[in-house]
Amino acid sequence: MLTRKQTWALVALTLIWGVNWPMMKLSLQELTPLYLRAFTMVVGAVWLFVYFWAKGFRMRPLKTEWRIIVWLGLPNIFGWHVFSIMGVQELASGRAAILGFAMPVYTVLLGALLFKLPLNRRTSVAVLCVAATVGLLLWHELQQISGNYVGIVWMEAGALSWALGTLLMRRATFSMSAEVLTVWMLLLSSMCIWGLAMAFEPTPSPSTFSGAMWASLMYGFVFNYGYAQIIWFGMARNLPPTTSAMSIMAVPLVGTLTATFIVGEWPQWQDFAALVFGMAAIAAVLIPRRRPDVTA
């Protein structure tokens, strides 16, 4: 049973992650995708570094720990964040969130393919739901004159990268705390994204940014890469699996609904249908079965 403090923290976390999708779309109106990721990620990582250092964490990795930081950071942070921001650029933010959060299903499928983890009947249901989700959004995109299926490819590549990273994280052994590992994955990934941005995108001019742009950047710095990570690490060890699943399911819903007010995206019936299928897929793989009561 969650305490009142945990409940409010979980609500805040779900809202922060959900609202971040249309906020990213708002930022992309004035800033290219790689520079957006580079700006928000590096500032957020520094913010987290200072916070955890002040809390007494050992922030300096050992020589033997750098390899695991790079190995886990490539799919978990670099791959997911690069692919997903390219997807958000091409798609409505709510659709991007729905597609990106197919990750739990891909985690199960990749686990079976790469590590011979068992599948069950609920996995088949989840796969069908994800197929319906992608099919609905792909069909709608291809019907539109300005439709762009490339965005769906970007988002699914991001979800696959995140899923692979999740599997590797579960199987990895490391001596540093998960908080410090995450900070260093963010720092190293942001450096790589800075390099890509400078190589392939025009140099931005912050002096031309509007007030709304600065507000969306601050949201990324402070909330998405800051408070959300602190809340998550503070709760993750004690969060029941069912509650965690419900939170993940609610993120695309929040993103889809708030996009109307933040960037003026009006969901179509395909979006709501895809959202239902997507939430069903997450529920099928994340919410544990109830064990039958055993009476003496």
Nearest residue to 20 (alpha-carbon basis) of 287, 282, 228, 286 = 228
pTM of the complete model beyond 0.85: yes
pLDDT at 239 over 90: no
The per-residue pLDDT for 83 is 97
The per-residue pLDDT for 295 is 46
The per-residue pLDDT for 125 is 86
Q: Cβ distance 267 to 106 under 8 Å?
A: no
Tally of domains in the chain: 1
The per-residue pLDDT for 274 is 87
pLDDT at 152 over 60: yes
What letter would DSSP give residue 91?
S
Residue 295 included in any domain: no
Report the distance separating Cα 226 and Cα 222, nearest Å: 5
pLDDT digits (tens, 9 = 90+) for 20-65: 999 999 999 999 999 999 999 999 999 999 999 999 999 999 999 9
Q: In 10 A of CB 108, how many CB atoms? A: 23
Residue 67 included in any domain: yes
Phi, psi angles (nearest 5°) of residue 32? -70, 155
Residue 291 included in any domain: no
Residue 293 included in any domain: no
Separate counts of helices (H) and strands (E) for the chain: 13, 0
Residue 79 included in any domain: yes
Residue 238 included in any domain: yes
Token pair of 43, please? 């500032």
pLDDT digits (tens, 9 = 90+) for 69-127: 999 999 999 999 999 999 999 988 988 998 888 888 888 889 888 888 888 888 888 88
Q: Which of 2-11, 28-37, 139-148, 237-246 has the highest mean pLDDT?
A: 28-37
Q: Cβ distance 263 to 19 under 8 Å?
A: no
Instruction: Give Cα 24 to chain centroid, integer Å.
Output: 12
**Average per-residue pLDDT for the chain:** 87
Nearest residue to 186 (alpha-carbon basis) of 37, 85, 55 = 37
The per-residue pLDDT for 107 is 86
pLDDT digits (tens, 9 = 90+) for 275-295: 888 888 878 877 776 655 444
Work out the average pLDDT over 125-154. Answer: 77
Q: 7-11, 57-61, 262-266: which range is least confident on average? A: 7-11
Enclosing domain of residue 223: 4-286
Percent of the chain with pLDDT over 90: 49
Which runs of consecutive H residues, i.e. helices, occur in 144-268?
Answer: 150-171, 178-200, 211-218, 228-235, 241-262
Work out the average pLDDT over 150-158. Answer: 92
pLDDT at 296 over 50: no
Q: Cβ distance 253 to 18 under 8 Å?
A: yes
> What is the per-residue burial (b if ≥16 Cβ within 10 Å, else e) of 144-174?
eeebeeebbbbbbbbbbbbbbbbbbbeeeeb
pLDDT at 146 over 60: no
Residue 165 included in any domain: yes
Residue 292 included in any domain: no
Work out the average pLDDT over 211-237. Answer: 86
pLDDT at 250 over 90: no
Choice between 119 and 234, residue whose per-residue pLDDT is larger: 119
